[in-house]
Structures are given as C-alpha cells and as structure tokens.
Amino acid sequence: MTGRSGVEIFKTAEAAAARGAELFLSASREALASRGRFTVALSGGTSPIPLFRCLAARAPFAEVDWSAVHIFWVDERCVPPDHPESNFCLAQEHLLSKLPAPGAVIHRVAGELLPDEAARLYEAELSAIFSGAEIPVFDLLLLGVGSDGHTASLFPDMDLERFSERRAVAVYVEKLRSSRVTLTLPVLTSARRIIFLVTGSGKAGIIAKILGGSGEMHYPAARVAASENQVSWLLDRDAANWIENP
Ligand code: 6PG
C-alpha cells in the first residue's frame, strides 16, 4: 500500500457505507468546484447497496449539481439493463432513480449488445467524455473486492497486461460462466481517488492477504490499491478481523 492509503474500520457494514457516501459527496464537491464536473465509476455486487441507499437519502440536501455528475461503471455484466444481474439496474433501483431531477448523466455499458461491441462503444464514450485523453482519469472509483481478490471484472487468473492498450474490454469469466465488460488496470490505477468498500466475514481472508500480507500483487485489487493516488479502504469489523485479531 502506498503512503496515501487509508484504512478505516467500522462496527457495521452500514457505518462503512455511510462513510463511503460521505467521501463520495466530498469528492463530488471538490471536483465540481475545481473542474466543473464530477466523474465517478460504480461497482456492482451487494456491497455498494447500502452506500447507494445512503447517498439517495442525502442527495436532495447534498448541495451537489447532479446534472454535472457523470456516472460510469467499473464493470457490467453482459445482460440487458433491466436484468436483475445488471449493475446499471442495481444502481438505478437504489440510487439513480432517486436523485433530484434532472438527475446525473448516465454512461452505462450497453450490456444488451455483443460483449466486444459493448466494450468498443464504452471505450468510445470514455474517449468522448474524457476528451480523447490517453487514459481517462476518473475523479472517483467505488470498488469492491471479491473473496478471490478480483475487483471490477479483473480476476487473478487473467493476464492483465494483455489489456494494457485498452481502456475497456470484454472478458469471459469462466468461474461465473458470464461475459462482462470491465475497465482495465491503467484506467483503474489512474483515478484521482479510489474507495474500496469491503464488508462481511467472507472477505476477511482476502483483506488479510492484501492489507496484512506482502501486498500479494497477483490479486487485481492489490494492484489497483498500489495506485499512487488516494486509496481509502472502508471495512467493517467482520472483514477487518485480521487487524483486530492479528
Ligand atoms: C461486480 C462487481 C465486482 C464486485 C465484487 C464484490 O460486477 O460484481 O463490480 O467487482 O465489486 O465481486 O462483490 P460483492 O460486493 O457482492 O461482494
């Protein structure tokens, strides 16, 4: 972990999520004040749900111009946007549909298309919004970690260097028997700020390896966390068991 990584441990997953919502809003205010917009990429899965809900509750009073907030996803399952597995559908249900009108600017991955086509279109959208920058620099990434050390849809058995020239790629995840579109390592490690929200006893093992071990750089989550930018780990006690019981 770099010197700019911070670990915060909370009694409950809800408390960790509330801190994540607070950091989301402070990052949005900083970006809007200094750059006139806020670009953020969300994760799917279950961990972000309490954060989405907390954000939705605070959004009407947050003094944020949501129409200048550009929402992307760090990954997406290759399913239609109304599919229960869709990360867009998850965010739409718990957050996006509850933002004050006119809401945020949504840049979803077209999961209904063939994976490679969806990835190419997503890259074109990234290029358009980030003015053709060599590597898009997000203001914030909201990341989870799988118990195998994956983050976004970058898994330990993948040769991540194979994607180093791409900004978003289609991958087939054998263990999940699922196609996904994911941001690549160069994009994930370039973000100004990264929040890992990791909760539950099922993540204690991987957290101990990533935060308590030698960094275990074959885990994609550890490689992202090695970013020179600001990385926050928001853990509940169950996930941080090794710290409290080394
Ligand atoms: C996804 C996510 C993925 C997630 C981890 C953790 O599409 O599933 O982007 O990277 O963050 O799998 O998932 P949980 O939060 O459900 O444990």
Q: Express each pLDDT in 186-219 by its tens digit.
A: 999 999 999 999 999 999 999 999 998 765 678 9
Report residue 2's pLDDT band, with 50, 70 and 90 as the boundaries. Answer: very low
Question: Looking at residue 4, what is its pLDDT?
Answer: 54
Q: Return d(Cα 160, Cα 155) in angstroms, integer.
A: 9
Question: Looking at residue 3, what is its pLDDT?
Answer: 43
Residues with beta carbon inside 6 Å of ligand 1? 43-47, 74-75, 87, 144-146, 150-152
Instruction: Tell me which amino acid residue 78 is.
Output: C
Atom of ligand 1 nearest to the CA of 76: 7
Share of the chain above pLDDT 90, in %: 90
**DSSP-assigned letter for residue 46:** S
**CA angle (223 as vertex; 156, 210 as ends), nearest 5:** 80
Question: Looking at residue 121, what is its pLDDT?
Answer: 98
Strand partners, 171: 180
Atom of ligand 1 nearest to the CA of 45: 16
Which residue from 158, 136, 128 is spatially nearest to 221, judged by alpha carbons? Answer: 158
Which residue from 198, 193, 15, 28 is spatially nearest to 99, judged by alpha carbons? Answer: 28
Q: Is 173 helix (H, G, I), strand (E, B) or coil?
A: strand
Report field, pTM of the whole predicted structure over 0.85: yes
Instruction: Tell me which amino acid residue 96 is.
Output: L
Half-sphere exposure of residue 86, counting CA atoms within 13 Å on the CB side?
18
Half-sphere exposure of residue 152, counting CA atoms within 13 Å on the CB side?
32
Instruction: Tell me which amino acid residue 118 is.
Output: A
10 φ, ψ (degrees, to nearest 5): -125, 155
Q: Is 12 helix (H, G, I), strand (E, B) or coil?
A: coil
Atom of ligand 1 nearest to the CA of 47: 15
Beta strand pairing status for 75-77 and 178-183?
antiparallel
Among 78, 87, 141, 145, residue to substitute to test ligand 1 (most atoms within 8 Å of Cβ): 145
Give the closest residue (by CA) to ligand 1 atom 15.
Answer: 47
